């Protein structure tokens, strides 16, 4: 009688196959995520839309010029909740004007229909007159000679833009033995000529990607920040500010 010898055949068990399949799926998922992220970044760079980068450029420019406002011309500055005009001593963005700082009238404004935030610089060609003391002097005051400059689009896709002007009243000294109470800030949605510069400007904006872009990858960007005005000025109490501004402040929102 002949007996057959058992021969062992090499192979993988079911448990080993499941473990290998699981590890392979993890690796492929990681590769897909990295590829998808890189492709999204490339498409973002190609489209030219980068809300945080463009907003940072606008804020840096705005902060720089708010820090270089000309004190002698502060009574000429004005604005509302969507635009502001400042007289600054700074370098022009137009390189054809040469290097070095010069006196400019700069306007930041929001075009609601086009969703654009622009900056326009104009060049002051005459001396800034002394602030008129009376209404009669204001009517007779000479105009400042201005040469038109250039307008630049700083931000696209701006669906919300709001400016508020902030004053920090000096506290009323009631007693030399006790520290004065802290005064809450005053907020207004406009800045009129002859008011003088505020202590800060509150900027609120929202930037959204273009409609033809994939909004799942390019998210809406929003911020509210306070930009200080560093021009020297005389401290004014709340009563003094209300007399100059001519109305009570808004409620801070």
Q: What is the reported pTM?
A: 0.74
Q: Average pLDDT of 229-234?
A: 83
Q: Average pLDDT of 57-66?
A: 93
Angle, CA of 238, 243 and 245, to the nearest 5°: 90
Q: Average pLDDT of 120-143?
A: 84
Residue listed under structure tokens 């590769």: 31
Is the Cα torsion angle 49, 55, 56, 62 positive or negative in sign?
Answer: positive
Q: Given pLDDT bands bounded at 50, 70 and 90, which one contains residue 247?
A: low
pLDDT tens by residue, 63-82: 999 999 998 999 999 999 99
Question: How many residues are listed for the chain in this entry?
Answer: 253
In angstroms, the CA 97 to CA 99 distance is 7
Q: What percent of the chain has pLDDT over 90?
A: 40
Residue listed under structure tokens 């720089």: 64
Contact 84, 69 (CB under 8 A): no
pLDDT tens by residue, 167-200: 999 888 766 677 777 889 999 999 999 999 999 9
Angle, CA of 175, 179 and 180, to the nearest 5°: 75
Would you list the domain boundaries of the chain? 16-47, 48-245
In angstroms, the CA 202 to CA 63 distance is 11
């Amino acid at each position: 009688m002949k007996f057959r010898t058992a021969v062992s055949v090499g192979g993988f068990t079911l448990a080993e196959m499941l473990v290998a399949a699981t590890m392979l799926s993890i690796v492929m998922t990681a590769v897909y995520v990295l590829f998808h992220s890189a492709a999204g970044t490339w498409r973002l760079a190609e489209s030219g839309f980068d809300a945080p980068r463009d907003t940072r450029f606008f804020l840096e420019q705005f902060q720089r010029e708010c820090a270089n406002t000309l004190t002698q011309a502060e009574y000429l500055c004005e604005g509302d909740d969507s635009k502001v005009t400042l007289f600054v001593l700074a370098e022009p963005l137009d390189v054809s004007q040469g290097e070095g700082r010069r006196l400019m009238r700069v306007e930041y404004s929001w075009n609601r229909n086009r969703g654009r935030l622009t900056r326009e610089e104009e060049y002051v060609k005459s001396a800034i007159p002394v602030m008129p003391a009376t209404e009669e002097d204001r009517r007779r005051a000479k105009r400042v000679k201005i040469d038109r400059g250039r307008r630049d689009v700083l931000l696209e896709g701006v669906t919300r833009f709001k400016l508020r002007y902030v004053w920090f009243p000096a506290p009323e000294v009631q007693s030399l033995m006790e520290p004065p109470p802290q005064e809450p800030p005053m907020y207004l949605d406009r800045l009129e000529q002859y008011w003088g510069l505020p202590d800060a400007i509150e900027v609120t904006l929202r930037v959204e990607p273009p409609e033809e872009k994939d909004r799942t990858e390019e998210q809406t960007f929003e911020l509210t920040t306070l930009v200080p005005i560093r021009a020297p000025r005389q401290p004014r109490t709340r009563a003094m500010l209300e007399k100059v501004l001519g109305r009570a402040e808004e409620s801070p929102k």
